Amino acid sequence: MEDVEIDEGTIRLGQLLKLAGLVENGGEAKSLIQDGEVMVNELPETRRGRQLSPGDRVSVGSETVRVTSA
């Protein structure tokens, strides 16, 4: 599992997917999220604007990242 540091208190799910390199662009993030392929804290998440905080874990396929504060 990789840690992804954020400077602010929260980050949107779509932004995190791009920052972590799990997707190449916003369109790919939107598609994966809408198809239910993204998990947040082991639960499916279908809201691209979902706010994530340090400690949240996001998984796409076999890759998982954890949000941490800088």
Place of tokens 């998990």: 39
State the alpha helices, DSSP H only, in 1-70. 13-19, 26-34
Instruction: State the sign of the Cα–Cα–Cα–Cα dihedral 14, 18, 24, 26.
Output: positive
Q: What is the pLDDT of residues 8-56, one digit of tens each?
A: 899 999 999 999 999 999 999 999 999 999 999 999 999 999 999 999 9
CATH number of residue 39's parent domain:
3.10.290.10
CB 55 within 8 Å of CB 67 = yes
* Structural domain boundaries, residue 22: 2-69
Local structure of 34: helix, strand or coil? helix
**pLDDT given at position 70:** 83
The domain tally of the chain equals 1
